[in-house]
Amino acid sequence: MSKYEYIPEPALVKGNHDFASLTKLVTDVNLRPTPKPWYAAMLLANAFLGVFLIAVGYLIWEGTGVWGLMNPVGWGWAIINFVWWVGIGHAGTLISAILFLFRQDWRTAINRFAEAMTIFAVICALMFPGIHVGRIWVIYWVFPIPNQMGMWPNFNSPLLWDVFAVSTYFTVSLLFWYVGLIPDLATLRDKATDKIRKFSYGLFALGWTGSNRAWWNYEKAYMILAGLATPLVLSVHTIVSFDFAVSMIPGWHTTIFPPYFVAGAIFSGFAMVLTLMIVARKIYGMEDIMTNDHMEKMNIIIMVTGSMVGFAYMMEFFIAWYSGVEYEKAIFILRATGPYAWAYWIMMTCNVLSPQFFWFKKLRTSVGFTFFISIVVNIGMWFERFVITVTSLANDYLPSSWDYYSPTIWDVLTYVGTFGIFFTLFLAFLRFLPMVAIAEIKAVLPQADPHNYDEETQEFHPHVVEVPQPKAETV
């Protein structure tokens, strides 16, 4: 017996699956009759969507005065929710692009799911800049479109950069998602038995055959898209952080913002993927594909990015003191002890403390605990944006203008309503599109690798790792 033990990577797909059974497992969800609880869930989501529409309708009718905005806090829940939703979206791109470039094959179980989440989260995020302007009928001024004044957008403004960054991000995410879907839509086209499904899946599959000449260009395109999406996703949250960092407000004007925002975005996005995954895999019986190993790996990423966020909080404090700027020092002390201290300590507890539990293997492999923490993290990340936005504005340079900000019911209803948009879209996705990238998950099965077959008989035999015996110790 060697003193070294070989521990193989855990199998990516559990259970005794082959190609056909994986196809069946995933496509059945789309092809079988709609389950009744789905209608119930959809109805609930639609009710929230209705709340959103009412809240937005009233906002447009009455103006932004219905929100809790006042002097000096001219930026409230709208920007908080925008940043929160965009941040959640980032996990999808991280999983589909960055993990692809790092050849992390476990991503194949969750990438489709997470990319869908990205797109829907960005749609929710885009609602807020879309509706927050007082005169919504001139929202097209944010684009370089000719208008009656002959003026153009101000390309020196971070808010304008944001328009380009988020709309590019949405478009590229959608394209990336669609490219991944093409082969799977072809699978659904070939599995469907009724006319409507055959036609609609067939139309969007564009006539994909699985030709290896086509796969050759396809894989190249996928790699290039991953290479493009990686700097893109980093740039998007960087530019979102510029909305704050480029202005001269104490607590905002810091160079740590871009990396700190990106880490926070990944942190909250992975939490959201976990929240959705733990529920969906249970309902749809996908535990063979979305395994506890996946959950553990994602928990480790949450722990790492959570620690980065915690480090950034401390660094901000240190730099505020080290800079010697009175206003900067004051705002950080006010954050922890001032009128919004409750929000600050919720943020600290949820973002800095809660991910540290994942140092324990027992906790990061526990489904219930992971689900709990995944929700705590997203609450924490919402409060992070609240603390950044509101405290800095409410307590800025002149104490005589300080005031306490509270949201109105319309702020709350708009935010709650975005969950209606998100879940309406997400439930439709679960029902009509394959929630796992079928082609990609097949490609990571051991049966997919031609090297795992015998040269002569062409029969499958799994790869065996030989562990070299260590040399006898000489000391």
Partner 1 sequence: MSTTEQNSELYGILAEFKNPKALIDASKKVVAAGYDKFDTYAPFPIHGIDKAMSLPKSKLGWIVLTCGLIGFTGAVSMMYWMSVMDYPHNISGKPFFNAPAWVPVTFELTVLLSAFGAVFGMLFLNGLPKLYNPLFNVERFKKATDDGFFVCIEAKDSKFQADLVKELFEEAGATHIEEVYD
Residues that bind partner 1 (CB under 8 A): 18-20, 23, 144, 150-156, 160-161, 164-165, 168, 171-172, 175-176, 178-179, 183, 186-187, 189-191, 202-203, 206-221, 224-225, 228-229, 231-232, 235, 239, 242, 438-440, 442-443, 447-451, 453-454, 458, 460
Q: Give the residue among 197, 21, 23, 226 at the shortest CA–CA distance from 115.
A: 226
Cβ atoms of residues 273 and 95 within 8 Å: yes
Q: How far is the CB of 94 from partner 1 (least distance, A)?
A: 16
**Nearer Cβ to partner 1 (238/414):** 238
CB of 418 to partner 1, least distance (A): 24
Q: Which is nearer to partner 1, 125 or 346 (CB)?
A: 125
In the bound state with partner 1, the residue whose beta carbon lies nearer, of 60 and 175, is 175
How far apart CA 365 and CA 386 sit, in angstroms, is 31
Which residue's CB is nearer to partner 1, number 234 or number 272? 234
* Least distance from partner 1 to the Cβ atom of residue 379, Å: 31
Q: What angle (nearest 5°) sits at the alpha carbon of residue 322, between those of residues 320 and 326? A: 55
Q: How far is the CB of 328 from partner 1 (least distance, A)?
A: 22
Which of 162, 411 has the CB closer to partner 1?
A: 162
Return the DSSP state at 352: I
Q: Is 131 exposed, middle or buried (CB count within 10 Å of its CB: 0-12, 13-18, 19+)?
A: middle
Question: Is the Cβ of residue 5 or residue 455 nearer to partner 1 in the bound state?
Answer: 455
Which residues neighbour 225 within 8 Å (Cβ) at sequence distance 6 or greater? 97, 172, 175, 176, 179
Nearer of residues 9 and 454 to partner 1, judged by Cβ: 454
460 SS3 class: strand
Q: Which pair of structure tokens corresponds to residue 245?
A: 């960092």
**CB nearer to partner 1: pick between 234 and 427:** 234
Closest distance between partner 1 and the C-beta of residue 92, in Å? 15
Contacts for 403-407 with beta carbons within 8 Å, 24 or more apart?
403/70, 403/71, 403/72, 403/73, 404/339, 405/68, 405/70, 405/73, 405/76, 406/68, 407/67, 407/68, 407/76, 407/77
Q: Which is nearer to partner 1, 32 or 213 (CB)?
A: 213
Q: What minimum distance in Å lies between the beta carbon of 177 and partner 1?
A: 11
Task: Note whether 115 and 177 are within 8 A (CB).
Answer: yes
State both tokens at 112: 């489709």
Whole-angstrom Cα distance, residue 299 to residue 370?
8
Question: Cα–Cα–Cα angle for 468, 471, 472, nearest 5°?
Answer: 140
Output the smallest distance, CB 202 to partner 1, in A: 7
Return d(Cα 98, Cα 222) in angstroms, integer: 12
Determine contact, residues 92/119, Cβ cutoff 8 Å.
yes
Q: How far is the CB of 59 from partner 1 (least distance, A)?
A: 29
Contacts of 229 (CB under 8 A, 6+ apart): 93, 96, 97, 172, 173, 176
> Nearer Cβ to partner 1, position 53 or 224?
224
Q: CB of 282 within 8 A of CB of 288?
A: no
Burial bucket for residue 184 (CB in 10 Å: 0-12, 13-18, 19+): buried
Least distance (Å) between residue 231 CB and partner 1: 7
Least CB distance to partner 1 at residue 125 (A): 16
Least gap, CB of 296 to partner 1 (angstroms): 26
Q: Name the residue nearer to partner 1 (CB basis): 211 or 406.
A: 211
